[in-house]
Each structure stands twice: as structure tokens, then as C-alpha cells.
A and B are shown apart, each in its own frame.
Chain A
Amino acid sequence: MDPALLLLYMLVFPGFLFLLGYAFFLQFVDRKVSARMQARVGPPLLQPFADFVKLLGKEVITPRGVDGKTFGAAPLLALAAVMTAFLYVPVIGGSPLAFEGDLILVLYLLTLPTIVLFLVGWLSRNVFAALGGVRAVTQLFIYEVPFYLVLLGPALAAGSWSVSSIVEWEASNLWFAALQPLGFVIALIGLQAKLERTPFDIPEAETEIVAGPWTELTGRRLALMRLTMDVSLVVGSALIAALFLGGPLLPWPVEPAWFGAAIGFLLFLAKTLGILLVLSTIKMAMGRIRIDQLNAFGWKYLASAAMIQVLAVLLLKGWSIP
């Protein structure tokens, strides 16, 4: 790819600029859909952006005894990590930056925000934030194992560790949502837990521990951390769309190339929005469970089911390739 085009891909479309815009849009859709389900009116289209700008202008308060530089850098690190992850997820076709093993990189980068939240909670010198941080990391150990396992399922079946190659495999064969339905469901549950949305909003349970690790975040730090979660939502749903729903590729070739890219982009939008609708419905239909209940649920059922899924993939693959 032409270096100038590559730069355009990274910075403008479908890279960072589009990503930020789409993150705000998904937040809007999430809030609007939730509001309608709760018989409320909901925010206007630009509300998420307005909230972001407003928070940027607010005073930044550093708690006494907290290292302001580390505290301020943490949200930036989280945001940078999830934005980088987006570059390897197919949006209008395979990613030009794809390499063998980028799936692992994306998963790793997607985990960073949770680690950062734990750090922020621990650094805050605030009992609610510390408790929330401990909860965040406990929750990480519960959902991350099944989430990783089921996302590796498509990679094992397609014989590639690159998201873009898995999408190509799906274009010539079948969607993994049909081949590995159990894995698809667990991936959705894992994403819900990763994004700390009800019923897994345990680390930031408002009525219990104020805002958990977020308690001492103010001004632009809070704005950036919220943006990180929105971007995580985009990357997470795009990743699941790519791994399980065939991403932006059609099973047959489309000419000319620009038309194919446009179709791919529309497919991307439709699939990520569909996933968001599922996540929002789960969020609205349930209350928050306790961390011990999540522990029992995660390790007893989710992890076992994920292992069964991976075992089934391995066995079937061994069967078909003698």
C-alpha cells in the first residue's frame, strides 16, 4: 500500500478519526436504545460529544498524595492501547497492517484498559476506588479466560492467528457464529463483562462503591477514560463481528473495488450495531450480580463451556485433517 494512503487509513478513515466518531455514535445508540426501553426520551445525537467536550473543560483534581503524572498518564495509555487495537480489525476489507498473530495483539491491547482501571483505583488513595480496582481485577480473572479461549476457537479452526485471514476463511466457508454458536454466545457475555456493563458492572457499582476506580477521575482524565470504554465497545464488537459474523467481507467477489469496500463498510456498521443492540438489551433486562456470584458463574459454567467449545474445535479439526 502507498505510504500516504496507509497514513490516511491509520489517521482518518477507517482509522482514528472514524473510530472516535463511531465511538460517540455507538454511545449515542446505546443510550438512546436504553432510554427507549426504559420509557424515557434519551439524549440527542450529539450529546456524547457534548459531554466529552464539557468534561475536557472541567477542572482536573488530583487527590492529595497521588502522583499526578502517573494518574494523568494512565487514561492516555488505556486510550492509546484500544485505538491501536482497532487498526488490526477489518473495517472495509482486510486490514493492511495485518500480520500473523495480530489476534493476540488485539486481545492483549483490549485487556489494558481494565489493568489501567485497577491501577487508577489503586493509585487514588480512596477506599471506594481501591475496592473497585480489586473488583475490576478479580472480574478480569473470571471473564478473561473463557473470553480468550472462545476467540481462539475461530483461529484454530481457520488455521490462522490473523483476524483478517480468519475473515477471509469465513468468506469462503461459513460464519463461525454458525460453526461455533457456543463460542459466539460466550464471546458476547465476555465482551459485556469486559466493558463492565450490567449485569457485570460490579467494579463501578454506583450504589455500593460510588464509582469504583472512576471515583477520583475528574475533568479530561474522566473524559479520556470514558472515551476509552466507548472505543473498547467499538473494537470489541468489531472483533466479534469479524471473528464470528464474517466481518466486512462478502462470500463472492464484488467489482469494482471501491464498491466492494463500500459494501464491506455497510456490513461492518450493520454487524457492530447488531451486536450493540444485543449488549444493550442484556444491560437493560438485568440487575447487577455480586462478585462471588460472578465467580461461581464464570468458572463453573462459562469456563467449562468455553473449554468444551475449544475441545470440539480441536477434535473436529483433527478428524477432518488426517
Chain B
Amino acid sequence: MAEVVVPIGPQHPALKEPVNFKVVADGEVIVRLELDVSYNHRGIEKAAEARDFVRVVPLLERVCGICSHSHTTVFVKGIEEAMKVDVPPRAQAIRTIVAELERMHSHLLWLGVAAHEIGFNTLFMWTWRDREAVQDMLEEITGNRVNYGINEVGGVRRDLKPAVINAALARLPLLEQRIATYADMASRERTMLMRFQGVGKLTKQQALDLGAVGPTARASGVDYDVRNDDPYLSYPDVPWKVVTDDHGDVFGRTLVRVGELREGLGIVRHCLENLPGGPITTKAPRAAPRAEVLSRYEAPRGELVHFIRTNNTDKVERLDIRTPTLANWTSVAVSLVGQNLADIPVIVAAIDPCLSCTSRITVVDREARRTRTMDWEELRAHGIRFYREKEGS
């Protein structure tokens, strides 16, 4: 076959969220691809500027459905830093427990999605069933399955009762056993090895050059984990290690995530067993002094950054969110070239893309068949003009 352009997305069965690749393929081999993100702008950064610190936390929880706790934790961490508030250790431990449970449910979900991308639906069904155990724990601890609502500036909103701790500890052995099964499957099942090994190669140098983060970078041998390099919450007090791998392919990324499942379980168990006493929150001031904070956090997908500028008020003056998926996109574009058409879904899925967190606004001109991205000034001017015309003033 000659070169064909295969459109993947914005609507495609492999994608759960809208993104568009124009893949140029020669028969089954990918020659190059054009990447087009930004189908889903929601204006959350702007909305955050209009809410005070109490009301902005539930909003940020909704940036992403999977890593909701990540977005609130990184934000309150930054605000607490700006206010110079010391958070009680019990609150830090509870945040850590929720954070690691979130990482576990995210990685279990990813394992299922990766299996589904290669048509291995049995593993998909199994991991998602066992993910329910994690979600049940989260529900018992926080009251919610998805948007936990546990964080507030100064601490957490719910304490852990002994009954809840015991119930969570009782669930861990079964989960540990299932994780061991999946680790075994991921390293031994024949079709998974055929489809994962040597696919989507990213060398250590490429990972560093392209600024890859999270499991994608760690699978290429980059020893970078914010939990270790810029410690926060209870991570310095808990025994755990950064999981890295040298394969640099989808197989390596699978091993890293399965390894992190194990580590995450260990962290949760340690925190539950050694939960410090004391209060779960401190009274935080209503306004934050003038400050600029760059708050970093290791979300399940990699390093999540919130840049926060405060200005002596009870609202942020500017919030800028850099999600791990945005940092990892370029590595996908590189590792796809020369691969098989059949490998696109699994390579894309290997960074565990979370698209609605990543989207920025794009304008599509249907007549001229062009797309372009609006920058902030343009968008602001456009917004003002649009409403002026609409209101007729």
C-alpha cells in the first residue's frame, strides 16, 4: 500500500477522551504523525481565580476524575507554603494514604486499559474488578469513590476511625495477592510480551531531552520521582523506594507501574499501622500573603505542577496547571515513528494520557480547514469582544 493518512480521533474506540493524531502510515508502518490536543477546554484555571481558598478546592478536584486528590493536594500544599502553615502529621498521613490509594486505582485502571488496547479483555475485566476493592477503601475512608473531598487548606476534613483503619487493613492481603498475580502475568503472559517488548522505545537520553515524567521516564531508567527528590506529605517517614526499569519500552512501563502498585500498598499499610495522633487540621488564615509558589507533586501519571501566585487576598491571582500528560506527549510522538500501526493504541496508552486535564483552547476554521491555538491575550480579547457584541453594549 502507498502512504495513507489514518485519522485517530477525536472520536475513536481506543480513546476515552478527545485527541487527534494524523498518522501517516506506509502500509502498516508509521512514517510520522501530527498531534493535536485541545478538544476539551474547560476554563478551570480562569474559574479558579474567582473562588476563595475554601471554594477553589472542590473545583480543582474536578480537573481530573482519576487524579482528583493529586490536584487538590498539590494546590493546598502550595497555599500552605505561601501562608507558612504547618499541617499536623496526622493530616499528612491521611493525605498520603489517599494519595497512594489513588495511585493504586489509577495504575490498576491503566493495566486494564493497556490489556484492552492489545485485545486482552480478560485482564481488563479482572483488574477493573480488583480496582473496586481500592475504590471501596477510598469510599470508606473519604466517603466518595472519585472526588474524595478530603483536603482543605490546613489539613483534612475527615478523621480515620479505628473501625475504618481495620477494615482497610483487612482488604490489603487480597489486594496484595492480586497484584502479585498481575505482576506475574505482565512478565510471563506470551501475547503481552509479544505486544509490549521492544514497542515504543524511549532511550534514557530521549526521555531527559523531551522532559518525560512519571512512569514513562522511570521506565527509561530516569531516576526521577518528586516523592523522593522533593519530599512532601509523609513520604520521608515511610520506607519505600523509587521503581525504575531499563527496558524503555511499553513492557518497562508496565513493570514500573506494577512495581509502584506494590510500593503503594506498602506505603498505605505503613501509614495505616503507624498513624500519628493529634488533630487533623489547623486553622488557616483566610488570606494568603503576596507570594509565588511552584508546587510539585508526583501524580500517578508523573510530575504535576501547580504555579500559584497569591496577592494578599483570599483568592489566587493566577493558577497555572502543568499536567504530566502534557509533559509526556512529545515522547509519544518520538517513540511512535517506525512502529507498527497496530502499536499506536498501546504506545499512546503507555503514558496513561489524561486529556481533559491537558487541553488548551484551539480554534478550528472549518472553511479553510485550518486549526490554530489561541494564546491567553488573544483569548481574553476574544472573550471581551464576544460578550460585548452579545450584550450589545
Contacts and interface: CB of A to CB of B under 8 A. Distances in A.
Interface in B46-96: none
Given A287-B115, A287-B195, A210 B12 contact: yes
A37 interface: yes
B343 interface: yes
Given A127-B5, A207-B116, A210-B13, A286 B191 contact: yes
B119 A288 contact: yes
A293 interface: yes
A201 B119 contact: yes
A290 B342 contact: yes
Interface string B121-162: 111011001000000000000000000000000000000000
Contacts of A290: 194-195, 340, 342-343
A208 to B, nearest CB: 5
A112 interface: no
Contacts of B7: 127
Interface in B319-372: 340-345
Contacts of B126: 38-39
B28 A291 contact: yes
Interface in A260-302: 284-293
B169 interface: no
A199 B345 CA distance: 16
Contacts of A39: 125-126, 129
A199 B342 contact: no
Contacts of B122: 37-38, 284-285
B340 A205 contact: no
Interface string A118-136: 0000000001101100100
A207 B119 contact: yes
Contact of A286 (B13, B116, B190): B190
Contacts of A128: 6
A39 B121 CA distance: 11
Contact of B4 (A127, A202, A206, A291): A127
A3 B7 CA distance: 56
A141 B6 CA distance: 24
A287 B1 CA distance: 26
B44 interface: no
B12 A202 contact: no
Interface residues of A, number: 29
Given A286-B120, A288-B119, A207 B125 contact: no
Given A37-B122, A287-B118, A208 B195 contact: no
A78 to B, nearest CB: 23
Interface string A204-238: 01111110000000000000000000000000000
Interface residues of B, number: 33
Contact of B194 (A40, A130, A202, A289): A289
A41 B279 CA distance: 46
A219 to B, nearest CB: 20
Contacts of B6: 127-128, 131, 209
Given A38-B126, A131-B4, A287 B342 contact: no
A164 interface: no
Nearest to B15: A207
B165 interface: no
A289 B120 CA distance: 10
A198 interface: yes
B192 interface: yes
B225 interface: no
Nearest to A198: B119
B14 A208 contact: yes
Given A208-B344, A290-B343, A134 B195 contact: no
A134 B25 CA distance: 14
Interface string B172-200: 00000000000000000111101100000
A283 to B, nearest CB: 9
B195 A38 contact: no
Nearest to A211: B13
Contacts of A202: 342
A290 to B, nearest CB: 5
Given A40-B125, A287-B115, A287-B118, A134 B191 contact: no
B117 interface: yes
Contacts of A287: 115, 118-120, 123, 189, 191-192, 194-195
Contacts of A288: 118-120, 191, 195, 342
Given A38-B121, A287-B118, A287-B191, A206 B13 contact: yes
A84 to B, nearest CB: 31
Interface string B195-224: 100000000000000000000000000000
Nearest to A197: B119
Contacts of A38: 121-122, 125-126
A108 B14 CA distance: 35
A25 B4 CA distance: 41
A199 B6 CA distance: 23
B342 A134 contact: no
B111 to A, nearest CB: 12
A289 B129 CA distance: 25
A288 B116 CA distance: 9
Contacts of A134: 1
Contact of A208 (B129, B191, B194, B345): B345
Interface in B1-51: 1, 4-7, 12-14, 28
A65 B125 CA distance: 40
B4 A207 contact: no
Contacts of A206: 13-14, 119
A201 B116 CA distance: 13
Interface string A142-171: 000000000000000000000000000000
13 contacts: A37-B122, A38-B126, A205-B119, A207-B13, A207-B116, A208-B14, A208-B342, A286-B189, A287-B119, A287-B120, A287-B123, A287-B189, A287-B192
* 4 closest Cβ pairs, A-B complex: A288-B119, A287-B120, A38-B125, A287-B191
Given A288-B342, A290-B340, 11 more contacts: A39-B126, A40-B125, A127-B7, A131-B6, A198-B120, A202-B342, A207-B117, A207-B118, A207-B345, A286-B189, A290-B342
Interface of A: 37-40, 127-128, 130-131, 134, 198-199, 201-202, 205-210, 284-293
